[in-house]
Amino acid sequence: MDEPVCYRSLFLSDFHLGTRGCQSHLLLDFLRCHDAETIYLVGDIIDGWRLRKSWHWPQEHNDVVQKLLRKGRKGTRIVYLPGNHDEFLRSYLGSHFGGIEVVDTLVHEAADGRRFLLLHGDQFDVVVRHAKWLAHVGDWAYDTVLALNTIINRVRRAFGFEYWSLSALAKMKVKNAVNFIGAFEEALAAEADRVGVDGVICGHIHHAVMHARHGSMYINTGDWVESCTAVAEHYDGRMEIIRWTRPGSMRIVERPLLEAAE
C-alpha cells in the first residue's frame, strides 16, 4: 500500500457516526490515505441524537474510531471539539480519552502565522440555541432525505458511479437554506473579528467552502454525510478543501484567497 499523504493539520467534522447516512467507507479510506501532525475533529463526530432514538453502529463505524485511536497512539495529536449532536461530550471539556483532547474552542496558528478560531459552529445557529425542538424536527426531515440519498447511491455504486448527494443539491436550491448559510457565514466571520484572529474554521452546516467575503477568512470543513470533504493545511500554511467521493480519488475543491501568507 502507498504511504499516506501527510499534512501539518487536518480538519474534519460531521461524521455522524451512528447514522445510516454516514459515508463511513469513504471516510475510512480517506483516513487510511492521509495523515497529519494534528487532526482536529470539529464536532458531530458521533450522533448522540440518533443513537438515543435507535442504535445503529456497524463495524465500519467502529473501524473509523479505531483508526483515529491508532493514529493517536502513533503520535498524531487529536483534538475533539464537540458539536450539538455530540454535546454530551461538553461535560468532559479538558479531559483526554485514549489520547484525544476534548475542548470547546481553540485558536489554531497556521504555519504561516495566521490564526484561526476553531469551533463546531452550532453556537451561532439560532434554531439550535433557542428552538431545539425545531432543530430535532429538521433533523428528522434531513434523515428522511438521507435515506433516499442512500438508496440512490447504492444504485450509483452498482453502476460504477461515485458518491453524489441529493441532500446537498436540494439544500443549495432552496432559498431559505441558502440565506441561512449566508447568515451563518457572516456571523462566524464577525466572531473571528471580535476575537481578533484572521479567520474561523468550523463545521455544522455540511457545506464545505473557504472565502473571505465577509472580511475575515471563513473555512467550513463540510461533512461525511453529504459532501465527503476535509480541510488540509500544508506545511507552509496553505489551506485546501479535499473532496473524497470515490476510494482513492482525491479532488482539490478549493484553495482560493487562502494561500500561505507572503
List phi, psi (to 5°) of 126: -60, -40
What does the alpha-carbon distance between residue 227 and residue 208 come to, in Å, rounded to a whole number? 7
The mean of the pLDDT values for the chain is 84
Q: Which domain holds residue 225?
A: 6-254
Residue 140 within any structural domain of the chain: yes
Residue 205 within any structural domain of the chain: yes
Query: Could you tell me if 50 and 143 are in contact, meaning their C-beta atoms sit under 8 angstroms apart?
Result: yes
pLDDT at 50: 87
What does the alpha-carbon distance between residue 24 and residue 3 come to, in Å, rounded to a whole number? 21
Q: How confident is the model at residue 3 (pLDDT cuts 50, 70, 90)?
A: confident
Could you tell me the CATH number of the domain that includes residue 90?
Answer: 3.60.21.10
Q: Which DSSP symbol is given to 30?
A: H
Determine what percent of the chain falls in helix, strand and coil, rounding each to the nearest 5.
40, 25, 35
Residue 260 within any structural domain of the chain: no
Q: How confident is the model at residue 135 (pLDDT cuts 50, 70, 90)?
A: very low
| 136 vs 250, more confident | 250
Residue 214 within any structural domain of the chain: yes
Residue 13 within any structural domain of the chain: yes
pTM of the full structure: 0.80
Q: What is the pLDDT of residues 42-85, one digit of tens each?
A: 999 999 988 988 899 999 999 999 999 999 999 999 999 999 99
Count how many domains the chain has. Answer: 1
Residue 1 within any structural domain of the chain: no
Q: Given phi > 0 = left and psi -120 to 50 = alpha, else beta, which region is 228?
A: left
Look at residues 164, 206, 230 and name the one whose alpha carbon lies nearest to residue 7: 230
Q: What is the pLDDT of residues 164-190, one digit of tens each?
A: 665 555 555 544 454 677 889 999 999
